[in-house]
Every structure is written in C-alpha cells, then in structure tokens.
Amino acid sequence: MKSLSPVLASLANVFRIPLSQISTRPAINRVCNEAVTSSKTTTGPITAAVQPAASRTFSTTSALTKRNAGAVPPQVNKRITMIRYFLWHPLTPRPLRFSRNRYLRHWTIHRAWQLYRAQQRRAHHLELERQEHAMYRACEELRTGAYDGGKLFRKSMNKKGVFADMFPIEYGRLQTDAPSREGWNHEWKKMEKK
C-alpha cells in the first residue's frame, strides 16, 4: 500500500481523521446515507463508514462510546463527511516534488529573500532608534538648555485636551471581520460640545 502524501496527511491531521490507508473507496452515497441516517453507532459518528474493518480494532472509539453511553450522540455534519470522502479520492494527484537541484535553487532563493527582509527590518529598526534618540536629545535640550526652567519642555509634554471630550470615530467603532450590512453612515455628524 502507498504511503500518504504530506498534503493528505496534513488535511487528515487538521480534520482529525484517523490515518488508515484505504485501497478501495466506498461509494459516496452509501457513506453519506450511513452517516446521516444512523443516529446511534457503536464505533463513532462518521469514522466507521470510512475506516476499513482491519483498522477498527485498534480504535478506542467503541470503548469511548460505551464509556459515554448516557451522553447525547454528536450531530453528523455532512460537510465533514464529504471532506473525508474526497480526501481519499484515488484520482487526487500527488503533490509536486522538487528534484534535488530544483529544491536547492528554491531554498537558495527563499533564504536570500529571508536575509533581505531581515536586513530591511534591521535598517527600519535602526532608523526608528535614531529618531527616538533625536527626540530624546531635543526634549533634553528643551528641558535643560532653554534657560526658562524647563517651561517649554513641560508644555510640550502636556497631553491635556488631545482628544478633547470624546474619542475620534476611528477608535469608537467596533473592530469586525467583515463590513457592516448597512455600509457607511453618510448622515453621521460630529457631536456638538455642550
């Protein structure tokens, strides 16, 4: 029997599918019908329809089912059944594998890009450090060298009234994954100060 490709193995790991190599694949309608119609199974909700009989003996599913006999059986998700079915499709092409030279070229380009990005990050970090030191020196000059007892420094460090009475609308909106159904509120107006 052939070993699983890394793509199939990672998909099986993500969807928590037991790794059993299936030489013959059951019909899709039988798998879905068994998964949807069977409300109580002794070997688990979906995995029993896909696993061959040889690997079922090594499963702890039946023991766990007996242990949780009084529990409510889990709901069957048809989408997961379909994913499990097509995961073992015999016509799924194997992942592309690089030859030794091509892999070396790929690794060299990838490593060079990583080094270039690290160099850019380092330069950006040094630029930010330089700006921070320049601001610190300017503040020190205001604090000690202006001959006004540090009045300008204290004024520049005073943060009173930056946001006035309220936050800007950018900070007031809730951060969401998707835009709202209403879209942008074009009638919005800033609240008047009282």
pLDDT at 152: 84
| Per-residue confidence band for 68, with pLDDT thresholds at 50, 70 and 90 | low
Q: Is-contact 166 190, C-beta < 8 A?
A: no
List the domain boundaries for the chain.
6-87, 114-160
Residue-averaged pLDDT of the chain:
75
pLDDT tens sequence across 12-32: 777 777 766 544 555 555 555
Q: Is-contact 58 75, C-beta < 8 A?
A: no
Give helix 28-37 / helix 78-87 axis angle, nearest 10°.
150
pLDDT at 38: 58
Higher per-residue pLDDT: 13 or 49: 13
Higher per-residue pLDDT: 177 or 35: 177
pLDDT at 113: 98
Q: What does the buried/exposed string (b/e) look like for 68-94 if buried means 16 or more CB atoms within 10 Å of the residue's CB?
A: eeeeeeeebeeeebeebbebbeeeeee
pLDDT at 59: 58
pLDDT at 127: 98
Higher per-residue pLDDT: 108 or 179: 108
Amino acid at 36: V
pLDDT tens sequence across 78-137: 888 888 777 777 777 777 889 999 999 999 999 999 999 999 999 999 999 999 999 999
Higher per-residue pLDDT: 184 or 153: 153
Residue 56 CA to residue 155 CA, distance in Å, equals: 76
* Residue 169: pLDDT over 60: yes
